[in-house]
């Protein structure tokens, strides 16, 4: 006899998700449709716990569910994880650079004592990027 099958509640608990997540992942094609018991309960193979943990880990790494589905499909056909991980890393590095610029600007605003947006916008020393490099008054 094979490994025991898990009903929805047990699977959700074991994988750290809720039952609605299971249904959603089924609809999205991340989980295959489970077998049904004679009473109509969904019965999942025990290895589904690992699959769900993989999906959640990939999401924590910044992959969307569509990208996770692609990774799972690619993993069955080719070794696409390295390429996709490299692409995701480049995306994360771009976002980090953007966030670093935002952080630095906010720090400068705090240090400059900017308390009023309108007053700050009119000051040539305000670090906030209200318009472009030439922050002179708008011409009408």
Residue 140 pLDDT: 42
Residue 60 pLDDT: 92
Higher confidence at residue 35 or residue 130? 35
- Strand residues in the chain grouped as ranges (E): 5-7, 35-36, 42-45
Q: How confident is the model at residue 139 (pLDDT cuts 50, 70, 90)?
A: very low
Q: Are strands 42-45 and 5-7 parallel, antiparallel or unpaired?
A: antiparallel
Q: Say if residue 81's pLDDT is above 50.
A: yes
Which sign, positive or negative, has the C-alpha torsion 93, 95, 101, 106?
negative
State pLDDT tens for residues 109-127: 888 887 887 887 787 778 8
- What size, in residues, is the chain? 140
Higher confidence at residue 6 or residue 80? 6
- Rounded Cα gap, residues 63 and 59, in angstroms: 5
Residue 129 pLDDT: 78
Region of poorest pLDDT, from 19-23, 66-70, 77-81: 77-81
pTM score of the predicted model: 0.68
Higher confidence at residue 136 or residue 102? 102
Report angle CA 79, 61, 7 to the nearest 5 degrees: 85
Q: Say if residue 137's pLDDT is above 70.
A: no
């Amino acid at each position: 006899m094979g490994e025991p099958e898990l009903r929805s509640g047990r699977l959700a608990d074991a994988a750290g998700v809720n039952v609605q997540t299971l249904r959603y992942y089924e609809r999205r094609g991340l989980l295959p449709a489970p077998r049904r018991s004679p009473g109509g309960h969904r019965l999942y193979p025990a290895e589904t716990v690992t699959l769900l943990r993989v999906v959640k880990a990939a999401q924590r790494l910044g992959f969307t569910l569509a990208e996770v589905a692609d990774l799972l499909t690619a993993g069955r056909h080719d070794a696409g994880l390295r390429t996709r991980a490299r692409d995701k890393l480049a995306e994360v590095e771009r976002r980090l650079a953007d966030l670093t610029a935002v952080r630095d600007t906010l720090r400068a605003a705090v240090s400059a004592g900017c308390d009023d947006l309108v007053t700050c916008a009119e000051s040539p020393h305000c670090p906030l990027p209200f318009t472009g490099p030439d922050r002179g008054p708008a011409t009408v």
